[in-house]
Amino acid sequence: MKYLNPERRRVRKSLILIVSCGHCKSNLVRYQKVGRGNLLRMYIDRIIESEMPIHSKTQDLVCPNCHQEIANRIHVRQRGVDAFRMHRATYNIRQELTNNLKYHKHKSPS
Ligand SMILES: [Zn+2]
């Protein structure tokens, strides 16, 4: 994960999920998920870090390795925030096994 999300907020009692590309299996995003159920959208302030830069103008999440689009930005009116709506069958998720909620230090791309 190369890019720490500047808009991230720590979410208590969340699970850390690793979202990976369903096509080429590259890891794409570390995400703080609240509650059980499918990952239909990723709220931008719950994204910890990612393989691609995410900023206020990012409209689509695209795998930097194989260029498959996995999500596009929507505005969630009920919460007044933006999120990425996941495209079906384009990604895999797994739970990060460590229970350590500390953020990893930003590593610059090598
Ligand atoms: Zn990919």
Whole-number percent of the chain with pLDDT over 90: 81
**What is 3-95's CATH topology?**
2.170.150
Q: Distance from the CA of 36 to the center of ligand 1, in angstroms?
A: 25
- How far is it, in rounded angstroms, from Cα 71 to Cα 74? 9
CA of 79 to the centre of ligand 1 (A): 30
> 109 CA distance to ligand 1 centroid (A)?
18
Domain ranges for the chain: 3-95
The model's pTM is 0.85
The pair phi, psi for residue 23, each rounded to 5°, is -90, -55
For residues 45 and 24, give the distance between their C-alpha atoms in angstroms, rounded to a whole number.
26
CA of 38 to the centre of ligand 1 (A): 20
Q: Which residue has the tokens 């890019």?
A: 3
**Residue given tokens 């794409």 in the structure block:** 28
> What does the pLDDT look like over 44-58, one tens digit per residue?
999 999 999 998 889
Q: Nearest Cα to 44, choosing from 71, 12, 23?
A: 71
Q: What is the pLDDT of residues 16-31, one digit of tens each?
A: 999 999 999 999 999 9
